[in-house]
Amino acid sequence: SCDQPLDGTSDLICECDPAVGAVTPRPPATGAGGRLLWSEEFDGQRVDESRWSFVHGGGGFGNQERQYYSQRNAVVQKGVLRITARCEEYKGERYTSAKITTRGHAEWGPGHRVEVRARLPQGKGTWPAIWMLPTDNSYGNWPHSGEIDIMEAVGCTRDKVYGTVHTGRYNHMKHTEKFNSLAIGVSEWHSYAIEWKDREIRWFVDGTLFHTFSP
């Protein structure tokens, strides 16, 4: 069983049964190669704000999050974006971290592959994630217009990542969210990706397919 989350924090995706959602990795399906449309190598001196926007603020963001998002917690060094969570009093919150988004700068949909290389922190209370929200809420507010979690790791479940989709029909409030998980060493570098087809989304870690969603 997994550890209990910190008091007052959300445990919506903590899976206490290690068998729930677990799969044996299998090689990815092969297909036609695509052309690169957008990339970010973080090879400058700072986050390029013509390509990214910083999220500023606290208040929980609907997840009972305890940190305040601050630009000062994200630095670029030697081709790596480093986001640091700190235990500190800041603007009414007890912790700080950083969040960046491509909203207003770039967007992707069916027909695209999105891939991010990352290494993650571990520890109770952490919740690193790489995720996608719609540019426009064409079908209504969350979750009706959808959310795609390319990768998220929950501090109460050690060395495991999740790939999840939320919609009006499939979401954690109804306990119907569509997800799968993969046991890996999250503190090592891995490539996390989705391939978004017209009628299907596929999740990969280091080229290994571990989850598929077909509405």
User: CA geometry: angle at 177 spanning 143 and 12, to 5°?
Assistant: 85
Contact 12, 41 (CB under 8 A): no
Task: Tell me the C-alpha distance between 89 and 104, whole Å.
Answer: 31
Known catalytic residue at 147 = yes
CA distance 109 to 90: 37
| Candidate list 15, 152, 177, 195, residue with the active-site label | 152
Catalytic residue among 147, 177, 188, 195: 147
Beta strands in 154-207 (DSSP E): 160-166, 178-183, 190-196, 201-205
- CA nearest 206: which of 189, 93, 195? 189
The alpha carbon dihedral of 214, 31, 148, 153 has a sign of: positive
- The set of catalytic residues is 147, 152
